[in-house]
A and B are shown apart, each in its own frame.
Chain A
Amino acid sequence: MVIKTGSSAVSGVAAGPWRTAGQALVRNRPAMSALAILLLVTFACIMAPFYAHDIAHTDPFTSNVAGSFSLNGQNVDIMQPNDNPLHLGLSPAGPTWHPSAYFLGADSQGRDVAARLLYGGRNSLLISFSAALLCIGMAALVGVLSGFFGGVVDMVLSRLMDIMWAVPVYLFAISLSIVTISQGLKIGPFTVESDNLLIPIVIIALVYVPYAARPVRGRVMTLRNAEFVMAARSLGVPRWRILLVDILPNISATLVVLAPLLTALALLAESALSFLSIGVQAPAASWGTIIQDGEGLIYTRPMVAIAPGLAIVTVVLTLNILGDGLRDALDIRETSRKGS
């Protein structure tokens, strides 16, 4: 049996599990770097309107094929003759690497890719964070209900999860998206337009529920048989209170660790759907739609597709590193050993 010595034993109130985990996370350099990069990207995306209006002076949502911009005092056409030997056709301007105008070049409709990248990041991040949150909420509900009550509730919910998980995630998301995007959604008095971001958020959250609900259910089942739950029962604590006080705080670590991983999965799913034009609808941007814009320019102006691709890779990687750091800090495995 270990009695902790040191600062926590000297001060009156001992450090709680969250504070201990927070301290462990702060000491974890890769995780903190990942968090810093993630915050930086998020901040940049939030500042998208500022960049578009005050630095680049462009409107990233209207096509501007006939326009021109000034670079180092010279007027440059947005659409330029191709640099192939015959100079056939037109290509959008390439990257200027100058933040005041077309930093990453223009897309096929003459819009500033850098500004669109930031605006697209807003949508991509908003959708993936919200979808992950919603998914975790639903997964926690399903997992706790089926794990805690067992019996028929568990059987119905678990089979439902099995059926959902049996359908490939992307196929499932694509099918749902095609139906809702083409017609919008009418639920009673509420009408959700097809360009509403709620549609991709809910769809992505829904398809990943089984992925997150299973570990939660398993954890709840172990906890239900944990001795402290038995102790609480033997002391006459009502069931709902055991659920709130003994079960929920103990699965919160599992949920927190799942959050960044689910966000990464949601971001990938969102990009895939948007790439297929069944996610974020034009003229709004997301990293997926920009990649689609860049697809046709891949030989002449590869930066249009590479930039959002790099953004996706960066965010997904940092989220995964952050998730690993959280897992180490909260040490799910150790907690479950204690609990069982």
Chain B
Amino acid sequence: MPDDLPLLEVRDLSVSFRSRGRDVPIVENVSFSVDRQEILGIVGESGSGKSVTAMAIMGLIDAPGVKITGSALFRGQELVGLSQRSFRHLRGREISMIFQDPMTAFTPVYTIGWQIDEQIRVHEAISRTGARARTVQLLGDMGVPDPERTANRYPHQLSGGLRQRAMIAMALSCNPSLLIADEPTTALDVTVQAQILDLLRNLRHNYGSSVLLITHDMGVVAETCDRVMVLYSGRVAERGPAEAVFRQPGHPYTGALLDSIPPLTGPRPERLPSIAGAPPPPLERPSGCAFAPRCHYVHESCMILPSLIAYGTQDVACVLPAEGHPLPPRAAGAA
């Protein structure tokens, strides 16, 4: 396989659930790609379809009446419609996932080490002692102090940060080339959060893994990601290199998200700007731009669904740049 192909290329991925006789679109025509050793951030509010996108890529949605269309090529292999059997060989070995709450991601009845050993032994013919040696090595790499002893602890005996490290160690145990991290830091406090993000950033050098980082926190994206994709109401609002998006957001939604982060320098604002209203429920999405009802810049041309257009190094689903009224660039250092 040629090296210039992206590791994961998703094209026009749509996911809809059947509810009360109607197909409810959750994710609509989402396209993106993840390169080797790249960290892509997917940002969006609750219900914007971030997690569903990830689950669809992993083949983990098996609810009745679900419809997944489009294509997701992983190393040239089509993931949409792949059988569960073939998926199982991919999961863990090629793609693995870490979750928001590391407490509930471990079964409470076994020690952490036992569970990581098992995970290694599911995919490789290796002795128990060999697996344990690797487990201890992994836990050590993840910055777990005293890994031999921690491996013999039960999940409830570890702190949140340690559990998340153990979860990442388990996800990396078989050297996957893509790690999907679904809000890995949401349940952690800020200092631990920074350590975990550091860990994720270093994975690409130490393990050669790409990371698909799902978050709702722009700060996390700024700190960690190479590129970012902003989802709004199941559609791509903007995507591009993280730095460019932060310097000059092309979509008013991205701009509003960035505005709602408290500035580090300058006078502290009395109130942070917020985005009025709430995202539309999937069944009541406007036929035009989904953000239009909440947008400051809404005008007639917003009533037609905007397609993604190139804007600098970004792709933006907004008519403003094309009409010659791009958002003003943000002051450097504001984010």
Contacts and interface: CB of A to CB of B under 8 A. Distances in A.
Interface of A: 1-4, 8-9, 12-14, 16-17, 226-228, 230-238, 241, 245-246, 249-250, 252, 335, 338-340
B288 interface: no
A236 B107 contact: no
20 contacts: A1-B159, A3-B158, A9-B157, A13-B111, A14-B154, A16-B109, A16-B154, A17-B109, A17-B154, A227-B105, A231-B170, A232-B107, A235-B97, A236-B90, A237-B122, A249-B110, A250-B107, A250-B109, A338-B156, A339-B108
A252 B58 CA distance: 30
Given A233-B60, A236-B122, A339 B104 contact: yes
Contacts of B111: 13-14, 16
A264 to B, nearest CB: 27
A227 B157 contact: no
B152 A13 contact: yes
A109 to B, nearest CB: 54
B88 A228 contact: no
B91 A234 contact: yes
A340 B107 CA distance: 11
B88 A236 contact: yes
Contact of A14 (B58, B153, B171): B153
Contacts of A249: 107, 109-110
Interface of B: 58, 60, 87-93, 96-99, 101, 103-111, 118-119, 122-123, 148-149, 152-154, 156-160, 163, 167, 170-171, 180
A32 B97 CA distance: 45
Nearest to A9: B157
Nearest to B92: A236
Contacts of B152: 12-14
B33 to A, nearest CB: 21
A3 B104 contact: no
B159 A3 contact: yes
A98 B163 CA distance: 66
Contacts of A1: 158-160, 163
A124 B111 CA distance: 41
Contacts of B159: 1, 3
A246 B155 CA distance: 14
